[in-house]
Amino acid sequence: MQTLDTFNRPLRDLRISVTDRCNFRCTYCMPKEIFGPDYTYLKKDEVVSFEDIARLARVFVDLGVNKLRLTGGEPLMRRDIENLIDMLANIPGVDDLALTTNGSFSPKRVRSLKDAGLRRMTVSLDALDDPTFKVMNDVDFPVEKVLEWIDASAELDFQPVKVNMVVKRGVNEHSILPMARYFKERGHILRLIEYMDVGNSNGWRLDDVVSAKEMVEHVNTELPLEASDPNYQGEVARRYRYKDGSGELGIIASVTQAFCVDCTRIRLSADGKLYTCLFATKGHDLRALLQDGANDDEMRQAIQTIWTQRNDRYSEIRAENTSEKPKIEMSFIGG
């Protein structure tokens, strides 16, 4: 089944935030000044259960979703996430089951994720040198441990591993080339991400954004690149091949080259609210519907109505957006 929104975009990808908590305090996502000791996270009983997530996922698959991604917060902070992966991997129609993690846990865990049925691994890493990485994660976490996680993932056939690097001007631009070289040699796909104005707490300024164009030109000076075609409709990363045939690089240009026209994503937050855009100001409370005893048909109907009314295209209209409404934090809605 295909469910289309008001711009004829099909519903294809569901990103599931399993927790709003994280052990990092990346300055662009959960800055310490806001996410400090007094910050109120969701309580245990406010977080949507694995059973409910799996039930919702089945309904989403009926409506055309074939890709699931677990995210957060830090998804590995959610206890026994392997049980959820097992449930989701067994849903007929799920072609892709991926996880985005900061790679800070014991690499032994990679095995249990794989055994549970995880198919793809995306790891976030913003620099190859400790001083820069530590400035960005703000909890003194070393690069080496994340590299160990990436190695363990590659060894267990999560190949290629995707590595997300958010680039912030004046902070980690100098790490672009070392990162590109390092991951090219190992056959992983580095994805350079423009720093986005998600949430309200990261103090975003356009001046801090290094544009996709600048990033490509910079890599190209040493490692010649050529553009290649997207793998599928809705792929947000622009793909580039290294001309020497040694692999590829992705660029996520959410600020300077918006991709709303192809956006097939929907997001479920850790408290069971549904958001039709990363920059949404309001969610739809699916958990409440479940608790009111809605059956699968009623859930399907509710989600279908939400998607068919969708008209989001925040990144395309960012420049003219003067809304004062608070946006939802990325750690809450899921990146």
Binding site for ligand SAM (CB under 6 A): 22, 28-29, 71-72, 74, 100-102, 124, 164, 166, 193, 195-196, 198, 202, 330-331, 335
Residue carrying structure tokens 């089951």: 97
Cβ-count burial of 172 within 10 angstroms (0-12 exposed, 13-18 middle, 19+ buried)? buried
Sign of CA dihedral 216, 131, 189, 19: negative
> CA 211 to CA 188: how far, in whole Å?
22
Q: Which of 29, 205, 187 is nearest to 100 (CA)?
A: 29
Tokens of 25: 């305090």
> CA 302 to CA 78: how far, in whole Å?
27
Angle at 8 between CA 13 and CA 194, to 5 degrees: 55
97 binds, among ligand SAM, ligand SF4, none (CB under 5 to 8 A by kind): none
Least gap, CB of 139 to ligand SF4 (angstroms): 9
Least gap, CB of 15 to ligand SF4 (angstroms): 10
Q: Is 259 in the site for ligand SF4 (CB under 6 A)?
A: yes
Least gap, CB of 308 to ligand SAM (angstroms): 28
Sign of CA dihedral 234, 235, 241, 246: negative
Q: Are 138 and 24 in contact (CB under 8 A)?
A: yes
313 binds, among ligand SF4, ligand SAM, none (CB under 5 to 8 A by kind): ligand SF4
Helix (H) or strand (E) holding 60: helix 50-62
13 binds, among ligand SAM, ligand SF4, none (CB under 5 to 8 A by kind): none
Q: Is 102 in the site for ligand SF4 (CB under 6 A)?
A: yes
Least gap, CB of 241 to ligand SAM (angstroms): 22
**Which residues within the stretch 15-74 sit at the binding site for ligand SF4 (CB under 6 A)?**
22, 24-26, 29-30, 72-74
3 binds, among ligand SAM, ligand SF4, none (CB under 5 to 8 A by kind): none
Least gap, CB of 257 to ligand SF4 (angstroms): 11
> CA 235 to CA 263: how far, in whole Å?
8
Residue number closest to ligand SAM, CB atom: 335
Least gap, CB of 100 to ligand SAM (angstroms): 4
> CA 275 to CA 262: how far, in whole Å?
17
14 binds, among ligand SAM, ligand SF4, none (CB under 5 to 8 A by kind): none
Among 120, 145, 181, 313, binds ligand SF4 (CB under 6 A): 313
277 binds, among ligand SAM, ligand SF4, none (CB under 5 to 8 A by kind): ligand SF4
**Chain residues that interact with ligand SF4, rule: CB under 6 A:** 22, 24-26, 29-30, 72-74, 102, 124, 259-260, 263, 265, 277-279, 312-315, 331
